[in-house]
Structure 1
């Protein structure tokens, strides 16, 4: 039986979803500056095809270190799941989702030299005139499913910290 099977299920399913959505974006949307938006749910969810050669908020833009960090993190997580102890269920889901995101964005960085992003959540609405003139409004960055899976993985890991461990099954 495969050790840490939920890890592998989460990693493979997340990677497939990420790759399929990015392929869909590249094949069906036009990359423009500024990006053209397709409204899915007005004010809440839009599609906007952009490329990002950095990390979140453009950190380390243009640096090749991100591709190697993605590869290193991916190899380390796979080795740990394969050779390490049996993880608790929340750990398996969490680390598997983190792996799917690291692999998804890592593949983009190695193959394309940048990451394909397309999910825009413009739910922060600034009415005019601004009722809070001393408040700085920021535009949340456009992201992809790999980013979603990394964050969901972290949430699973945090939940796992506060959950009771899986009870071992009786071997009799």
Structure 2
């Protein structure tokens, strides 16, 4: 069980360390090409949620994040025992949620820095960070778990 909390802690540490590097080494708006034009580091701040929605509503994010953290911990301890993929997905989501929560509470904004252009559709993806990536990976893993679990339940019934 503690290994899963370690994964969440590692995500928070990586998230906060990379954001600290961006804050210390880059000017706001500075862009450093990594694999031009598809990937770059871009120092950006977000005072809202995904894609800048609900900008300036820090009280709302605090309430939602605290509720999400409580829900994750409840499901981890009450429903995820013996289900490693479910446990992993919950802790990855926890790490991402806490990483961005720290930014919102202590900086009043989230530090974003990964700028991706998806060439096939020529889409400039919203700028994100390690916590955002963890949230996405955690949700994808949870969807995989739910699909797999439903298939297992159907096999038991048949």
TM-score (norm 1): 0.77
Tell me the equivalent position of 1:9.
6
**Greater per-residue helix proportion:** 2
Alignment of 1:150-165 (within 5 A): 150-163=135-148
Aligned to 1:49: 43
- Aligned: 1:74 with 2:59: no
Distance 1:149 1:87, change over 3 A: farther
Q: Paired residue for 1:106?
A: 101
Structure 2 Cα separation of the partners of residues 142 and 26 of structure 1? 15
Gaps of 5+ in 2: 153-158
Cα deviations by residue, 1:58-108 (Å, 9 ceiling, x for unpaired): 111111211221222123323443x42415111111110100111000010
Unaligned 5+ segments in structure 1 are: 127-136, 166-172
Question: Which residue in the other structure is 2:17 paired with?
Answer: 20
Q: For the aligned residues, what is the CA RMSD?
A: 2.1
Number of residue equivalences: 148
What is the CA distance between 1:13 and its match in structure 2?
1.4
Q: Secondary structure at the match of 1:122?
A: strand
**1-structure distance, mates of 2:140, 2:50:** 18
Structure exhibiting the larger radius of gyration computed from Cα positions: 1
Q: In the alignment, is the contact (CA less than 8 A) between 1:43 and 1:123 conserved in 2?
A: no
Give the match for residue 133 of structure 1: none
Which structure dedicates a bigger proportion of its chain to strand?
Answer: 2
The verdict on how the C-alpha distance between 1:161 and 1:80 changes in structure 2, with shifts beyond 3 A counting, is closer
Alignment match, 1:146: 131
Task: State the shift of 1:157 in Å.
Answer: 0.8
The counterpart of 1:59, out of the listed 53, 63, 66, is 53
The 1:144/1:87 distance shift into structure 2, 3 A limit, reads: farther
